Amino acid sequence: MSNVCPNCGPHSLLSRSSPFHAHLGKCIAFDTPTPERRAILDSMHDIEQDIASYRERIAHLTAALADAQSQLDSLEEVRIAHNKLFPPVHTLPVEVLLRIFQLVVKKPYHLSSIKDGPWCLGHVCRLWRQITSAPSSLWSFPSCRPSSVRICTNMLATVLERALPLTLNFDMHSTGESRDIVQSHSLRW
């Protein structure tokens, strides 16, 4: 609602109720001390107090919002720090990691080399050691060379155990004890 004052021009009126609605939008001479003028000044004083009260309330809410935002930011930092304790690879299901390992392990791997095959993966972290130590197809393709017969014999039992109950694919160039151990599992070839 707008009125036009002959002295000031158009005024936009607020929807706030006023006891002086009939006078809004008009200019009243302030040099005239009337009871009506006094009532308007009192009303304006009350409105100013309400405005101050709302500003104070907004300032309080702004401070509370800033405090809540600060606490939220702190919690986010703690959450991020805790998430860093778990590398993304540890969030993958074991089945997915095992499949990745199967793609990475060379076939055949050298049974006597801990830098090759599933042995290498088992040295990365506890989780990977648990995955590679469990019976799986990772262990199904060992290779044993004559130069490493002693080590091969010691590691062969571990490989045979971890490859259970899967079929074995051996690349074996050995005689003696290691060959006898492998032959005892010939039903798995």
Residue 123's Cα: distance from chain center in Å?
27
Q: How many residues does the chain have?
A: 189
Average pLDDT over residues 166-170: 67
Confidence of residue 54 (pLDDT cuts 50, 70, 90): very high
The one-letter amino acid at 20: F
Please state the rounded mean pLDDT for residues 77-103: 88
Q: How far apart, in Å, are the Cα atoms of 146 and each of 120, 149, 177? A: 21, 5, 12
pTM of the model: 0.47
| Mean pLDDT score of the chain | 76
Enclosing H/E stretch for 119: helix 117-121
Residue 37, phi then psi, degrees to nearest 5: -60, -40
In the predicted model, is pLDDT for residue 71 greater than 50? yes
Residue 38 sits at the vertex; the CA angle it makes with 36 and 41, to the nearest 5 degrees, is 110
Task: Give the pLDDT score at 69.
Answer: 97
For 57-86, the DSSP string reads HHHHHHHHHHHHHHHHHHHHHHHHHHHTTS
Residue 112 has pLDDT above 70, yes or no: yes
State the pLDDT at residue 40: 81
Residue with tokens 């090759």: 116
- Amino acid (1-letter code) at residue 72: L
* Residues 139/159, Cβ–Cβ less than 8 Å: yes
Q: What is the pLDDT of residues 129-145, one digit of tens each?
A: 999 888 778 887 777 66
